Each structure stands twice: as structure tokens, then as C-alpha cells.
Amino acid sequence: MSRPFVLTTPIYYVNGLPHIGHTYSTVVADTLARYHRLAGEDVYFQTGVDEHGEKVQAAADAAGETPQAYTDRISGQWQATWDALNLSHDRFFRTTEAESKAAVQVMAQRVWDAGQIEFREYEGLYCVGCERFLTDRDMEGGLCKDHEKAPEPRREANYFFKMSEHFSWLAETLEENPDFLQPTRYRNEVLAMIREGSGLEDLCISRPKERLSWGVPLPFDEDYVCYVWFDALVNYLTGCGWPNEPGWEERWRECTHLIGKDILKPHGIYWPTMLHAAGLPLPKGIRVHGHWQIEDRKVSKSLGNLIDPLVMKERYGFSPFRYFMLREMSFGLDSSFAEDAMIERTNAHLANALGNLFSRTLNMTARYSDATVPTPGPTGDEEARVRQAAADAATAVDKHLRAFETHLALEALFRLVDAANRYVDHREPWKAAKDPEREEEVRTTLYTCCQALRAIALLLAPFLPDAAVTMLERLGIPDALDTVVLPADGERWDALLPGTPTTKGDALFPRLELIEDA
């Protein structure tokens, strides 16, 4: 059996519906999961929702529903959104599941038994949006940096995880294992938090039931519920089968968490120290991406500047939106979203470059080769360059996707598209076809273009699965993805046999026009 590839998205909070930030995380994970499946690996891809906490209870109260009814409804909408976007997760995890609650209690009990939880009184500035006490580092001008609202003073007796006792271990672990938390800037940020103090203290992990009943009861004190991060983070471990499923350790060793930079502290500090206190191993690693911005402000529910993925799908189809997210954002850095920029990139890359190559190749194949892949004549240096471009693209896509660099992988893939376009422009088969003595040349040109399109479609499948399926169907190999193994099959040439029937069809990527809000 192949080695597992295990990937989790953040556990999204259900006090609202998906926006571009959630969609980007999940689409990146979906792209990686699809690629590793096509590489023949044993993939487990988990996404899901965090359904406990004060914000959820407040949202339920505002909606006039019980918390359970509210979370059932909103979680259903999250699942329906991901299904509508054709995302390929293996499990949609809900923290209200019985399995999740039981695992949270096992984790809490283990840390309690290890003497790493104590009861104490605490006073500080609390952000309801973050659902935690803030430090000076978390604020700017007296406001929470993420939510741009003033925190409120609170004083309360609760249970605290002795997180600070594990900071030296965590710093040493990050120094010895630099690949655990990447990109490097985020690893350095976590190390700076630890070394500078940055207001890091022990972690409050409970709320009294008299104030908040919506949560998992602590196993050692049923008057308190386990709170937010100590609850939600356990989902990653539970999804891998902990604590009772045989073989969970192997899956967990290969598990990578994909997160946004706004939740770096919980995942980069709280979670590793929790695992260490419980005597559990760390996952394989954490990969951190930047934020989407509109007019230089982070996209978020609290700021009200959301981009709804279903609206984008309705306006333009999901492929352009998906392509823009994967191609525009350099992984780890922030990026800006604008519909006109998405349309410009779609028209340049998808419609003009790839779409035009696909259309004219199949149109000429229909016209000059009875809509079948032609038998080629002798090949030369030009054909060899296209073939090498396909091999280079397959190698580069593999390298960059394994490094979570979807933008660089797409750049590499479109170098093959550009090479094929240059080839057909130079060969001008539409002119050669006018000379009966150049028939063999025309067949060689169209055969080479068909082989390039097969390689492009296979390599495109993780990024734009619907478009790739359409390409393969029109190339006469609708079942190609059932047996492909990447990157080897992306490098393979001559796999599209002469005589294979092809279909012209409509434009693969119609040009887009900006649709203004009514």
C-alpha cells in the first residue's frame, strides 16, 4: 500500500457562511488531494466546521433557534456549498458529532491526569470575535487587529492549560524541525512570539455552564464546558482515528494542516503544546497561507466584505474563480481579489491561451484528419521541444504541488501551453494543408498538438477538474483519469493512439465580461 497523504483544512466556524477565504483554503486542499490521488497515493482529505462556543450560541439566539438546530442548519449549508463546488473531501467533520465530543473529553482527561490543567481566576481583555483574551500584540489602537473592535474586560474563574511550561520544548522542536511549520516566515513568527513573550500565557480552556452551556462538558468538572480551541483542534486527531481506531498513528504521522495566517497562534502554539502535554506525537506539519484582501483590508465576516463563492459560480462559472485563486495568490503571502482582475486573467490564460489551443487543434483535426488523431510522419527538433516541455511541466507541477505552491505549478503548466501555441503558430498547419505534398507534415503537427493537449489535460485535472474531464472526453479518452499515475503519465508521449476519435465541441473557456451588481 502507498504511503498516506493526509490533509486537513481549518475547522471553520459556523457563525456565518463560506467566503473567499474559506473557499481558497478548501480549494487548495482539494487541488492537492486530487493530485496525490492521481499520483497513486492513499489520500485522506478532511474539512469541517467548529460548532461550539459563545459566537455560535449568540448567533443561534439571534436567529431564534436552539444552538443544535442552528448548527444543523448552517453546517448543512456549508456542506451543500462544498458539494456545489465539486470539492472532493473524504470527510466533513462536525464538532457536535458524538465521536468528536468523546475524543475531546479523552484529550482533556489526559492533560488533566498529566497535571497540566489547573483552576484559577483570570482578568483581562476579551475579544468575542476571537473567543479568547487578547495581548498587546493582538491589538492596534485599542482594537483587535482581526476584528477591528475593542475587546471587553472580563474576570472569571476557569480551568487553564499550563501551556507556558511547554514553550521551551516547542522552540527547540521548531529549530530542530524547520520543515514542520512553513513558509519560514510563519515559523519565525511563532519563534518570535515564544522568545519575546508577546503576552503568551497559559491557555484558558473552559467556560462555566451557568454562562455558556453550549459545549463539551469537562470530564473532571461537569459544571464547566471545554472551550473553543481546546475543543476544536482535537478534530484533526479524531479524523485520523484517534483514540480508538487501529492504525491511526500511521495516518497521523502523515497529516498536514493547511491554515490561514490568522489562526497561526492556535495551530502553531496551542496545538503542539496540547499534544505534547497529552503525550501524543505531532502531525507531519503545518502550512500557512495569507489573506485575501479587498481595498487593502482582509476579507472577513466581521468586516462585512465577503466574496460569496456561489455568487461567483453563478456569474462566471466556478472554474474561473478557482483558477484565479490558485494562480493569483503566492502561497504564504496576501493577495487582492477583484472581479475585473479575475476576468482579465481568465480571458488571457484560459480563453486565449489554453482554450484557443484546444479549439483550433480539434477544429483542424476534424477538418484535416476526419476528427481522429492522425498518424504522424517523421518528427524533428520542433516536436522534440514540445515533448520536452510536457516532461518539464510534469516534473515542475509535481515539485511545486508537493511544496503547496499552486501558483508556481500553474505557471509551469502554462509554459507547456505556451510552447504548444508557439509550435502550432510556427508550423501553420492551415497553410500546409493547402499543399498536398505537405500532408504528412500536417499530420505530424496535429498529432503533436493532440499529445500536448493530453498532457495538459492530465496535469490540469487537480486544478480545474471539470475542464480537464471535458478536454479528455473530446480527445476521445474519457476514462484516462481512472488509470493515470502522475507525474509519469504527464511525461509519457504517444499515449493518445492514432485513430482515436475527437470532438470539436463548444469553446472550452468562453471569454468573460464583467457583470455589475444590480
Residues with catalytic roles: 19, 22, 127, 130, 144, 147, 298, 301
Single-letter amino acid code for the residue at 107: M
C-alpha cell recorded at residue 87: 470539492
Q: Tell me the sheet residues that pair with 289.
A: 260
**Residues 256, 259: Cα–Cα separation, whole Å:** 10
CA angle 64, 68, 73 (to 5 degrees): 75
Rounded to whole angstroms, how far apart are CA atoms 318 and 489?
27
Residue type, position 31, single letter: T
DSSP label at residue 21? H
Pairing of strands 91-94, 42-50: parallel
Task: State the pairing for strand pair 4-13/42-50.
Answer: parallel
Q: Which three cell numbers stand for residue 312?
A: 461567483
57 Cβ neighbours under 8 A, 6+ residues apart: 67, 212, 213, 214
**159 Cβ contact partners less than 8 Å away, ≥ 6 residues apart:** 117, 118, 119, 204, 205, 206, 218, 221, 224
Burial class (CB within 10 angstroms; exposed 0-12, middle 13-18, buried 19+) of 430: middle
